Structure 1
Amino acid sequence: MTANLDTLLGFTIPGHHARGRLVRLGPVLDEILAAHRYPPVIEKVLAEALALTALLGSTLKDDAGQMTLQAQTENGVIDLLVCDYRDGELRGYVKFDGDRLAEIPADPTLFALFGKGYLAITFDQAVSGERYQGIVPLEGTSLADAAENYFCQSEQIPTLVRFTAMQGGDDGCRVGGLLLQHLPEGEQGRERLHTRLDHPEWEHVRMLGETIRGEELTDPDLPLETLVWRLFNEEDEVRLLAEASLRKGCRCDPAHIRDVIGRFPAEERREMAGENGVISVDCAFCARIFPIPLETVES
């Protein structure tokens, strides 16, 4: 891992009841994209979605928990976009209509890609078994707009989201992201349903966050800690959290697949198998087909 790539840094600004996270993906992004030959437009959307997934998933206090981001449409070029995060591991996948993609502009709006759709963000806590899900319409001109709308409608938390993606070139693809939030009543905030939007101090933090430049988000020679300093060096106190490394993680190993298949009744397992007695399982995330002999499951 390059020192300033595939990494995430959290911070808080106690004096303004704000918290933030910065993420920058490089080799991990290339590894995820390599499983599919996505057109550049689809690559960009998935890169931004993976950055958002990392920013949100890293807020989980339960290491075994999982955060899932899903965007689905009724009549868009993109039928389905799914990303998830668990303990520093990222994966993502996009299903789209290639013929319809060829008919839209080279730099399409969010509506051109998704049409009428929704954004769902789900937090699953492994220890407590609790699940929290928020669903909002996909609105705005970009995925960043849609994410801000999610926090405004679903959690009532003032939020600033910024993404910049760089594609191709000798250094591969890179994407950087910023998530900045106001948490009324202290750094930890109050319960989601009781937050308020009446704190003018948020405008100060938001305006500083908006000065971030795209090249700063993607520059592999710029430490994230330095970027936090550039944005907020005039504040009385900024607390940095521990930096976290990110990696590709797809849970589609044969042992796990056999375990899942083994939970089905024997009759259903036999119906899944072909004439050769093999159950073929297709993992959309990593574009691999796993042949699972029926006899290995039954034994």
Structure 2
Amino acid sequence: MADPIHMTDPNSLDTGGPTDDCIQPYMIDKTGLHGRMVKLGPSVDAILSRHGYPDAVQYMLAEMLALCAGLAAALKFDGVFTLQTKGDGPVPMMVADVTSDGKMRGYAQIKGEVPPLHEAIAAPIPKLLGAGYMAFTVDQGADMERYQGIVALEGATVAECVQRYFEQSDQFASAVNLSAGRRPDGTIGAAALLVQRLPEEGGDKSIGYADQDAWQRAMVLLKSAKPEEMMDPDLIPNELLFRLFHEDGVRVFPARAITEECRCSREKIENVLKSLEPGSMEDLKTDDGTYEVTCEFCSRTEVFTDADLGHTSA
């Protein structure tokens, strides 16, 4: 990893890396606390624009995507990190995932009447998702054991729900500030600020590089960031980090780019269909006898014939 940059001059904070659709790692000098700022613009807007979700659903999924990218950046893995919710509300499922090389996608399943934004915005978890759970999954392929953590959907917002998971975790303590909404140009953006306290050897998360007072101070500063600051396309991540933490000293590491990219392909879909019994595929069959499959993530539709799938006529 390249050497960090110690930010002492607010007028020269652009380090030459990406400043939008990026993950900006940082460290607070005084306490040794590590964190990440995620800023999403065109990537998250492209994901959402394919679906036509109501605003309340778009904003929550945008927050989930920013959170997913921020959590994945804290892990050392080679594969896919997935954040998924399941509940009994009008939005029974939301999925956001990001690969270890920064490719992101997401979708929401809607099966009921979604309340308007002004009704859902204060408490989107109970209004949209209802009762259920949020799962965090690291999948590194068939040859590696899959890791999963689960927390109940308790709290009013995504940030409150994930904070409960952090509080229950034996691995590390973290705090998060999430935001999503319309940018001045009408597109949707999202942002996440995370700070993490690593436990000392032995796993006691109550003791880390930062004492309790320093940890509380970092959480207060983190949550003082306003939504308009976090999502401002003209405010680079380094400048916001300097505003928040300059009194304690803050260093930034090279930023990582995030791109939106679905992992579906015609070949993958064809292989799945070939593994199914022909009789179980009637729901996919159209009036002209072909099979249509639409990817839930990117909304791309692929059409197959019986000949494509190797089906023989009776």
Q: Choose from 265, 282, 288 the match for 1:253.
A: 265
Hey, what does 2:233 align to over in structure 1? 220
C-alpha distance in 2, partners of 1:73/1:79?
Answer: 5
Determine the C-alpha separation between the residues in 2 that align with 1:102 and 1:222.
Answer: 30
State the Cα distance separating 1:127 from its structure 2 match.
8.9
Aligned AA for 2:121?
D
- Indicate the residue corresponding to 1:88 in structure 2: 102
Distance of aligned partners of 1:271 and 1:137 in 2 relative to their CA distance in 1, 3 Å threshold: closer
Partner of 1:170, secondary structure, is: coil
Distance 2:23 2:51 in 1: 25
Give unpaired runs (5+ residues) of structure 1: none
Identity among equivalent positions (%) equals 35
Deviation at 1:15, TM superposition (A): 4.6
TM-score, normalization: structure 1? 0.85
Distance of 2:280 and 2:54 partners within structure 1: 36
Large movers: runs of 4+ above 6 Å? none
In structure 2, the residue matched to 1:284 is: 296
The answer for the alignment partner of 1:205 in structure 2 is 218
- Give the SS at the match of 2:155: coil
Secondary structure class of the residue paired with 2:248: coil
Deviation for aligned residue 1:149: 0.9
Q: Unaligned regions of 5+ residues in structure 2, if any? A: 1-16
Counterpart code for 2:215: W
State the shift of 1:4 in Å: 2.4
User: Secondary structure of 1:197's partner?
Assistant: coil
Query: Secondary structure of 1:233's partner?
Result: helix
TM-score, normalization by structure 2: 0.81
CA contact (8 A) 1:79 1:96 kept: yes
Contact 1:4-1:221 within 8 A present in 2 as well: no
Work out which of the residue numbers 181, 184, 191 in structure 2 matches 1:166: 181
Tell me how far apart the structure 1 counterparts of residues 150 and 280 of structure 2 sit (CA, whole Å).
35
Contact 2:115/2:127, CA 8 A, preserved across alignment: no
CA contact (8 A) 1:8 1:244 kept: yes
Contact 2:179-2:231 within 8 A present in 1 as well: yes
Q: How much is the aligned-residue C-alpha RMSD, in angstroms?
A: 2.7
How many angstroms apart in 2 are the aligned matches of 1:130 and 1:17? 31
Number of residue pairs matched? 286
1:233 positional shift: 1.6
For the structure 1 residues 141 and 270, does the alpha-carbon distance in structure 2 shift closer, same or farther, using more than 3 Å as the test? closer
Aligned to 2:5: none
- Is the Cα–Cα contact under 8 Å of residues 156 and 197 in structure 1 kept in the other structure? no
SS at match of 2:307: helix
What is the Cα deviation at residue 66 of structure 1? Answer: 0.6
Q: Is the 8 A contact 1:24 1:177 kept in 2?
A: yes
